[in-house]
Amino acid sequence: MKHFLSINSCSSQELLELLELSIDLKKLYKSNKRVLCLAGKSLAMIFEKPSLRTRMSFQVAMTNLGGASVYVKPEDVGGIGKREPLKDMARILSGYVDGIMVRTFAHETATGLAEYASVPVINALTDWSHPCQAMADIMTAKEHFGKIEGLKFAFIGDGNNVARSLAFGCAKLGMRIEIASPAGYELDKGSIERANAIKPGTVVQSSDPIQAVKDADLIYTDTWVSMGQEEEKAKRINDFQGFQVNMDMLKAAASHVRVMHCLPAYRGYEITDEVCECENSIIFLEAENRLHFQRALLKKLMSSN
């Protein structure tokens, strides 16, 4: 595995190895031990979309492993692929750093960097895929339930990049996911077909959130208005009425159900404050695990040990 661009491009074995490494390194670091396998190495962190969790988790992970990170703002590059060709940027950065992390809009930006870079490229988010988030989510599920095979996610909301990445993760790792979305916001049919081709019956798309949560182990939601969709805010809030994760929805689920959100959460919209703070919520454990998964990912891609 040279790059990490989407869950769909990884084998089941590679994903399982990353999960096990994430959990092992987390235990090690919780016991105040360090694996300085990236000493002297540097990671370029390119951001077209800002994020608290992405920047902090990658930067801290690199520090934990003995390496360094360089934060690259959009204005530093004059817009990715605008001031200079993407293929030039990829090769220039490859001469300076040992890895490239990109959080951007178009998935083609991440794949284009990977095509021309001679160092590992990590997709920290594109509009099509959010593999680091989904793997941290699955890691959290494994920690909580002690297994992943056979678990069911109920994803309530927009069939977006997170839903797509979770769908591929479920297909590769023996889980199921039911995505409940308003009309017009479903996960695209192509992604559902690709996931179900890996393992038939993995993904079900519905319009009934209450039905979706009834036999779920995990209820997952995300913002109704992602970055770049601000002009659609009023319409989206109206369209997503009835899809809020609230205590009434939790009552329709099994008592063991756990609630997840990739954050930031807009409390009072896609999720209530009461649910965020209830005993079923594992949202902040999930957020912490971004650090632990990304530490494992960096070690896997950038270390020779």
Residue 229 has a pLDDT of: 82
Instruction: Point out the catalytic residue in the list 137, 158, 217, 222.
Output: 222
**Domain co-membership, 114 together with 138:** no
- Give 106's Cβ-side CA count (13 Å radius): 9
Is 2 part of a structural domain of the chain?
Answer: no
Binding residue positions for L-ornithine? 161, 222, 226-227
Is 1 part of a structural domain of the chain?
Answer: no
Residue 242 has a pLDDT of: 97
Angle of helix 12-30 relative to helix 283-302, nearest 10 degrees, comes to 110
Binding residue positions for carbamoyl phosphate? 103, 130-133, 262-263, 290
- Tens place of pLDDT for every residue, the chain, 305 residues? 999 999 999 999 999 999 999 999 999 999 999 999 999 999 999 999 888 999 999 999 999 999 999 999 877 876 787 888 999 999 999 999 999 999 999 999 999 999 999 999 999 999 999 999 999 999 999 999 999 999 999 999 999 999 999 999 999 999 999 999 999 999 999 999 999 999 999 999 999 999 999 999 999 999 999 877 888 899 999 999 999 999 999 999 999 999 999 999 999 999 999 999 999 999 999 999 999 999 999 999 999 87
**Domain co-membership, 34 together with 161:** no
**Domain co-membership, 209 together with 232:** yes
Residue 281 has a pLDDT of: 98
**Domain co-membership, 24 together with 109:** yes
Instruction: Point out the catalytic residue in the list 10, 217, 244, 262.
Output: 262
- Is there a catalytic annotation at residue 130? yes
**Domain co-membership, 178 together with 69:** no
Is 45 part of a structural domain of the chain?
Answer: yes
Structure tokens at 27: 């235990």
Residue 190 has a pLDDT of: 98
- Is there a catalytic annotation at residue 262? yes
- The closest of 40, 52, 45 to 99, measured between CA atoms, is 45
Is 203 part of a structural domain of the chain?
Answer: yes
**Domain co-membership, 88 together with 11:** yes
Is 97 part of a structural domain of the chain?
Answer: yes
Is 278 part of a structural domain of the chain?
Answer: yes
Residue 215 has a pLDDT of: 96
Residue 304 has a pLDDT of: 85
Instruction: Point out the catalytic residue in the list 3, 53, 103, 236.
Output: 103
Residue 74 has a pLDDT of: 77
Is 81 part of a structural domain of the chain?
Answer: yes
First to last CA, the chain: 15
- Is there a catalytic annotation at residue 241? no
How many domains does the structure of the chain reveal? Answer: 2
CATH of the domain at 241: 3.40.50.1370
Residue 82 has a pLDDT of: 80
**Domain co-membership, 280 together with 242:** yes
**Domain co-membership, 179 together with 263:** yes
Residue 31: domain span: 7-130+289-302
- Is there a catalytic annotation at residue 170? no
**Domain co-membership, 168 together with 240:** yes
**Domain co-membership, 163 together with 96:** no
**Domain co-membership, 89 together with 171:** no
| DSSP secondary structure letters along 268-284 | TTTB-HHHHHSTTB-HH
Instruction: Point out the catalytic residue in the list 10, 59, 133, 170.
Output: 133
**Domain co-membership, 62 together with 123:** yes
| DSSP secondary structure letters along 46-103 | EESS--HHHHHHHHHHHHHTT-EEEEE-HHHHTSTTTSS-HHHHHHHHHTT-SEEEEE
Instruction: Point out the catalytic residue in the list 3, 130, 261, 295.
Output: 130
